[in-house]
Amino acid sequence: MYVFIQGLSKLSMSPYRFSGSKPETSIRLATNNCPYNSACDGCSSRHISLCNVLDTDELKSFSKISTDFHKNAKQVICSEDEDAEYIYNIRSGSVRISKMLSDGRRQITGFLFAGDFFGLSCKDKYSYTAEAITNVEICRFPRTKIIESFREFPALGERVFDMTRTELDSTHDQMLLLGRKNAKEKLCTFLLTMWEKSGRLNEGNGDEVDIPMSRSDIADFLGLTVETISRQFTNLHKLGLIDLDGAHKVFLKDTDALSALAENG
């Protein structure tokens, strides 16, 4: 039996890596048709989904419980304090996960991309809001069904636990960033993480990084203001470390220097 699952862990920008997985729990990218939902004809190696390479019958039972849908940019997918009925998997597009204070101050706790999951690490209520950054295609599963299936397929449960731990690790890194890094260090760290991610997803794109989210999203992710983000972008440009092509495309000209600045800016 192969458990076929990826994502989730990318929450908070720390991609899950496949090292160390035991054979019987090994994870594979979907290569062609999505096996768990016949309605999905868009599967490619970049569409990483909650596919279970179980036997055909097991697979069919999983297929039946999933629903595909679509959201436009800025639409809410699920919100804080709402009953956590589903877990979600992103087929395409980008999503932000955030929490708010009563007066509207916002902290984005993670950005999610194709293949990522969310909603699993919740209790009965969602503890955060998920919104579409770009147009997104989403697939959702009833949470209880998934959680029940951990007993039947322990490898699935172990995998999800493993990913949750990875995610926890990466939130600790983000706490270090939020609590102790200055604006320049924060932005450099962010750019490098986006770069690593994009390098993995579309190999060979060199040092061109796509930044789907707005300056204000980046600000709320890094605990800064839009203005500071903007100034730091210009700053890094003046230093000759990055080039900008519009607001959503960045060329990293010297990743080594950026790495150095990410810890000692």
- 183 binds, options DNA, its own copies, none, Cβ within 5 to 8 A by partner type: DNA
How far apart are the C-alpha atoms of 261 and 17, rounded to whole Å? 25
| Residue 183 sits in the site that holds DNA (CB under 7 A) | yes
Report, in Å, the least distance between residue 121 CB and its own copies. Answer: 4
Determine which helix (DSSP H) or strand (DSSP E) holds 77, and give its type and residue range.
strand 76-78
When binding is defined by CB under 7 A, the residue of 20, 104, 204, 246 that contacts DNA is 246
Report d(CA 200, CA 72) in Å as an integer.
Answer: 25
Q: Which of 76, 66, 195, 51 is nearest to 136 (CA)?
A: 76
Binding flag, residue 215, DNA (CB under 7 A): yes
Alpha-carbon Rg of the chain, whole angstroms? 19
Q: Does 182 bind DNA (CB under 7 A)?
A: yes
| 264 part of the interface to its own copies, by CB under 8 A | yes
Q: Binding partner of residue 59 among DNA, its own copies, none, CB under 5 to 8 Å per kind?
A: none
Q: What's the rounded Cα separation, in Å, for the pair 48 and 37?
A: 13
User: Can residue 264 be called a binding residue for DNA (CB under 7 A)?
Assistant: no
Token pair 């993670």 in the structure block, residue: 110
> Among 71-79, 164-172, 226-234, 235-243, which window interacts with its own copies (CB under 8 A)?
164-172
Q: Which amino acid is at 6?
A: Q
- Residue 2 CB neighbours (<10 A): 15
Name the one residue in this structure whose structure tokens are 């709320």: 220
Contact status: 21 vs its own copies (CB under 8 A):
no
Amino acid letter at 242?
A: I
Find the binder of DNA among 239, 248, 251, 253 (CB under 7 A). Answer: 248
Task: Sketch the per residue contact string, 41 through 70, with its own copies: x for CB under 8 A, - otherwise.
Answer: ------------------------------
Distance of alpha carbon 25 from alpha carbon 59, whole angstroms: 16
- How far is 114 from 10, CA to CA, in rounded Å? 10
Tell me how far apart the alpha carbons of residues 201 and 94 are, in angstroms, rounded to a whole number. 13
Kindly write out the interface string for residues 219-248 of this chain, putting x where it contacts its own copies by CB under 8 A and - elsewhere.
-x-xx-------------------------
Site of tokens 């800025």: 74
If binding is defined by CB under 7 A, does position 190 make contact with DNA?
no
Chain residues binding DNA by CB under 7 A are 182-184, 214-216, 223-231, 233-234, 244, 246-248
Chain residues binding its own copies by CB under 8 A are 20, 99, 101-103, 105-107, 109, 120-124, 127-128, 150-151, 154, 157-158, 160-161, 164-169, 171-176, 178-181, 220, 222-223, 263-264
